[in-house]
Structure 1
Amino acid sequence: MIENLEVDELVIGAGLCGLMYGISAVTEGSSVAISEAHHKVGGYATNFYRNKRKFVFDCSQHKVSGLKENVGNLWNTLKRLELQSLLDEFELHEEIGTVVYKNQFIKLPSEPEDIKKTLITHFPDELAGIEKLFQDIESHGYQHYMFFRKLMNEYTINRDILRESRGLSKITARDYFQSIFKGPDIVEVLSPIAIYSGSISNEVNAFYFLHCLYAMFYGGPAFMKGTGQRISDLLLKEFVDRGGILLKKNQVHEMEDMGDHMLVTTRKNTVKTKRVIATCPPEDVVRMLKKDEKSQEFKEVLENFTVGWGHFCVFAVLSVPPDELGISSPEYLLVSDTGDDFTEEDFENDRYYDLFTLSVSNYHRVDPEGGYILQFIVLDHGDRWFHLSEEEYNQRKDKIQEKLIKRVLKTFPQIEDKLIYTESSTPKTNYKFTLATKGSAFAYKMLPKTNLGLLSNFPNDKVKLVSTWSGGPGYETAMCFGFTQGKLLNMEKTQNI
């Protein structure tokens, strides 16, 4: 039975961005419903169980930036929404992680000055380049990071810095590193950090990468104490407690502009709303508005963007705590001797699984209730998976899992006889949980000259694109962008009354 519903705003997608938008909007006094296709909320911050619910696996990594008090954007966002209790769900760690390169274990501390000292210790001949890097992080990276504060009129752009920043946005991070450093080794040690934004150094633009370095080095790197699902469920409770409505297992099929409102048809409801907030891929928004000619023309704008990487993830359950096996860092980034500089041929012949940074995360380190789990993650792409038959898919999945486990065992041979269970997820798995285009875990690629600002000009003013697709990848971005847009759009509505 189709039920009618009328709200001020309908949010498509109950991921972290959608939930934060909903909390922000209802706090500003709007009536808000969130339509979620899945049977649980969270998007990538979602978990699943195996072995009779004995093991808990998340769809994504546990690392989050922006939680340093009075500095991080996420800390600031949670405080403004009076969600300080959520800060207890994260642990600020004394180190970002350990980069493993050419048999060296380079531990990166969590404080910027300590990171700088570590780099100088390992690469004394690169002192000038290291100083230049940190100057650029503190200027260009900081200014990019302050984007959300700028939206709130709390930060004024430094135009002098901006001119140089535009130049950095036109080159890759690898090009930038090679311009400031003498040798290749320090480039390969810094490049793996791009994995946290779903990037690789020979693709991501340097300006955005400096933003990522600021977020990680200065904003406060932290790890979830439990699962991403717990964070999602707590946000959902807050949204509902403040008056929000969740429409679960209720995918949006079609939207139509009726002049003074939008009429949205979902699996279970017909929703009349003044505005639709789309946290789903923009391509899906255009498809839902198939009767809107102007929206169809937006397809040309979307051709400016490239769908980003997903990931292949191996969940390796151990019989003993990883710490007992000498795996004490919260995360290791395994770097091939040649780094992540890859070619199209490497992609086509699957050699990129050997080249790309492989993250080894001590997954339930803070909360081992879900099992003693190591998570192996490498960036991957839906183009390698979605066309396969079921038999081909399973064969490929087993092959890649074996390949990644072998890579890990070269560095950590001590875990081999302690493995008691393995499970893998692919970009196709990601799609199942999120419906993200091609199973992308990081929205659009932040390539040189990529301008997400183009997505703010959607031709239908009753539809707003509010997501990592339009704001940039990552948990911190998703939550901060959701909050910021929820506050600004609803303040705007109040002022227009």
Structure 2
Amino acid sequence: MIENLEVDELVIGAGLCGLMYGLSAVSEGSSVAISEAHHKVGGYATNFYRNKRKFVFDCSQHKVSGLKENVGNLWISLKRLGLQSLLDEFELHEEIGTVVYKNQFIKLPSEPEDIKETLINYFPDEIIGIEKLFHDIESHGYQHYMFFRKLMNEYTINRDILKESRSLSKITAREYFNTLFKGQDIIEVLSPIAIYSGSISNEVNAFYFLHCLYAMFYGGPAFMKGTGQRISDLLLKEFVDRGGILLKKNKVYEMEDIGDHMLVTTRKNIVKTKRVIATCPPEDVVKMLKSDEKSQKFKQVLNNFTVGWGHFCVFVVLSVPPEELGITSPEYLLVSDTGDNFTEDDFEKDRYYDLFTLSVSNYHRVDPEGGYILQFIILDHGDRWFSLSEDQYNQRKEKIQGKLIKRVLNTFPQIEDKLVYTESSTPKTNYKFTLATKGSAFAYKMLPKTNLGLLSNFPNDKVKLVSTWSGGPGYETAMCFGFTQGKLLNMKKTQNT
């Protein structure tokens, strides 16, 4: 039976961005409902169990930045929402991880001065470039990182560096590195860090990459105690406790502008609302507004963007703790000897899976109660998975899983006879549970000259695009963008009454 519901705001999607928006808006006195297609909240920040709940797998990477006290944007956002108890659930990393390149295990500490010292120790001939890199991180990277504070009128743009920042946004990170360094080895050690925001150094614009480096090096890299599902569940509890409404297993089908309200048809409800907050892909928003001619023209704006990477993940259970096998770092980035500068032909012929950075995440270190868990993760495009028949899909999935396991065994042969369970997910799996376009885990690619600001001008002023699709990829960005937009839109509402 379809039920009628009336609220000030309807949020489409209960991922981290939607939950933070809902929390922010409901804390300002708005009546808010979140409609979620899945049976659990979190989007990519979810988990699943196997072997009668004996072990638990995280659906996406566990790293989150921005948790350094009074410095990180996420720390500040959670503090302002009165979520001190949630802040206590995070633990700062003692190290970012270990880059494995040409048989060297290069451990990257978590403090910027220590990272700089490590790089200089390994690459003494590159000291000038390293100093310039950290200068740029502290200036251009910091300025990009302060985007959310600028929206809140808490940060003033440094116009002295604006011209150079714009120039950096027009080139790739790899092109930028080539201007800094004399050799390729240091480039191949730094480039893999881009994967934490779903980027590749020969694609992502240098200005955004410097933002990523600032967030990781200076903002406070941390992990949630437990899996990503825990942070989602705790945000949901706060949202409901403050009066918010969650509508689970409730996909949104259509929206109609009826003058002073939007009428939204979902699987279970007809919702009358003053504003729709869409955290889903913008392409889906346009489809939901199929009778709105102005919104249909917005498709032309979307042609300016390229859907970003998803990922292929191999979930692994060992018979003993990984630490007993010498796997002590929270993360290893396995870089091929040729680095991440692959070609389109490499990708089309599957050589890519042998060449691109492969992340080995030691989940047992960050969540011992979940089991002796490792996860092998590589960025992947959904284009290669959706057109396959079921047999083709399963064969390809097994083939890629085998390639990734082989690569890990080349670095850690001691785990071969300790594997007791393996399972894999693909971008198609991601789409099944998140409905993200092409199974993308990182929204739109931050290519040179990409301007997400174009997405802020959606032609229907009762619909707001609030998500990583319009704010940039990553857990920190999703949560901060949700919080900031919730505050800003409610401030405007207050000013207009």
Distance in 2 between the 1:156 and 1:324 partners? Answer: 50
Distance in 1 between the 2:267 and 2:250 partners? Answer: 5
Deviations 1:249-299 (A, max 9, x none): 000000000011000000000000000000000000000000000000000
**Secondary structure in structure 1 of the residue aligned to 2:88:** helix
Instruction: Measure how far apart 1:355 and its partner are.
Output: 1.3
Deviates more, 1:413-422 or 1:46-55: 46-55
Distance in 2 between the 1:166 and 1:358 partners? Answer: 31
Distance in 2 between the 1:362 and 1:90 partners? Answer: 17
Deviations 1:463-490 (A, max 9, x none): 0000000000000000000000001101
The corresponding residue for 1:373 is 373
Asked if 1 retains the 8 angstrom alpha-carbon contact of 2:224 and 2:230, the reply is: no
Deviations 1:373-402 (A, max 9, x none): 011000001001000111111111111001
Distance in 2 between the 1:466 and 1:33 partners? Answer: 15
Deviates more, 1:473-482 or 1:221-230: 221-230
Distance in 2 between the 1:149 and 1:364 partners? Answer: 35
Alignment of 1:85-234 (within 5 A): 85-234=85-234
**Secondary structure in structure 2 of the residue aligned to 1:364:** helix
Instruction: Measure how far apart 1:87 and its partner are.
Output: 1.6
Distance in 1 between the 2:241 and 2:451 partners? Answer: 37
Asked if 1 retains the 8 angstrom alpha-carbon contact of 2:321 and 2:364, the reply is: no
**Secondary structure in structure 2 of the residue aligned to 1:365:** helix
Distance in 2 between the 1:65 and 1:367 partners? Answer: 18
Asked if 2 retains the 8 angstrom alpha-carbon contact of 1:225 and 1:364, the reply is: no
Instruction: Measure how far apart 1:370 and its partner are.
Output: 1.4
Instruction: Measure how far apart 1:161 and its partner are.
Output: 1.0
Between the aligned residues of both structures, percent identity stands at 91
Instruction: Measure how far apart 1:364 and its partner are.
Output: 2.9
Distance in 1 between the 2:418 and 2:343 partners? Answer: 36
**Secondary structure in structure 1 of the residue aligned to 2:365:** coil
**Secondary structure in structure 2 of the residue aligned to 1:276:** strand
* TM superposition outliers: structure 1 runs of 4+ over 2 Å: none
Deviations 1:33-60 (A, max 9, x none): 0000000000000111112222211110
Distance in 1 between the 2:447 and 2:65 partners? Answer: 21
Instruction: Measure how far apart 1:88 and its partner are.
Output: 2.0
Asked if 2 retains the 8 angstrom alpha-carbon contact of 1:263 and 1:270, the reply is: yes
Asked if 1 retains the 8 angstrom alpha-carbon contact of 2:322 and 2:364, the reply is: no
The answer to whether 1:347 aligns with 2:347 is yes
Deviations 1:421-442 (A, max 9, x none): 0011100111111100000000
Deviations 1:184-203 (A, max 9, x none): 00000000000001011000
Distance in 2 between the 1:334 and 1:90 partners? Answer: 26
Distance in 2 between the 1:361 and 1:57 partners? Answer: 11
Instruction: Measure how far apart 1:225 and its partner are.
Output: 1.5
Distance in 1 between the 2:137 and 2:62 partners? Answer: 24
Asked if 1 retains the 8 angstrom alpha-carbon contact of 2:93 and 2:221, the reply is: yes
Deviations 1:9-31 (A, max 9, x none): 00000000000000000001100
Deviations 1:305-335 (A, max 9, x none): 0000000000110011111111111100000
Distance in 2 between the 1:194 and 1:149 partners? Answer: 23
Instruction: Measure how far apart 1:239 and its partner are.
Output: 0.2
TM-score, normalised relative to structure 1: 0.99
TM-score, normalised relative to structure 2: 0.99
Asked if 2 retains the 8 angstrom alpha-carbon contact of 1:13 and 1:278, the reply is: yes
**Secondary structure in structure 2 of the residue aligned to 1:57:** strand
Instruction: Measure how far apart 1:446 and its partner are.
Output: 0.3
Distance in 2 between the 1:320 and 1:90 partners? Answer: 26
Distance in 1 between the 2:98 and 2:148 partners? Answer: 30
Deviations 1:386-420 (A, max 9, x none): 00111111111111001000000010001111110
Deviations 1:86-109 (A, max 9, x none): 122221011100000000000000
Instruction: Measure how far apart 1:224 and its partner are.
Output: 1.7
The corresponding residue for 2:357 is 357
The corresponding residue for 1:316 is 316
Aligned residues: 497
Distance in 2 between the 1:51 and 1:429 partners? Answer: 20
Asked if 2 retains the 8 angstrom alpha-carbon contact of 1:226 and 1:364, the reply is: no
Instruction: Measure how far apart 1:163 and its partner are.
Output: 0.9
Deviates more, 1:46-55 or 1:374-383: 46-55
Asked if 2 retains the 8 angstrom alpha-carbon contact of 1:261 and 1:272, the reply is: yes
Distance in 2 between the 1:363 and 1:109 partners? Answer: 18
Distance in 1 between the 2:93 and 2:461 partners? Answer: 43
Distance in 1 between the 2:396 and 2:89 partners? Answer: 36
Asked if 2 retains the 8 angstrom alpha-carbon contact of 1:66 and 1:75, the reply is: yes
Asked if 2 retains the 8 angstrom alpha-carbon contact of 1:74 and 1:476, the reply is: yes
Distance in 1 between the 2:481 and 2:343 partners? Answer: 34
Distance in 2 between the 1:218 and 1:175 partners? Answer: 23
Instruction: Measure how far apart 1:366 and its partner are.
Output: 2.5
**Contiguous gaps of at least 5 residues in structure 1:** none
Instruction: Measure how far apart 1:367 and its partner are.
Output: 2.1
Distance in 2 between the 1:290 and 1:255 partners? Answer: 8
Deviations 1:152-171 (A, max 9, x none): 00000011211100000000
Distance in 1 between the 2:384 and 2:69 partners? Answer: 41
Distance in 2 between the 1:239 and 1:317 partners? Answer: 34
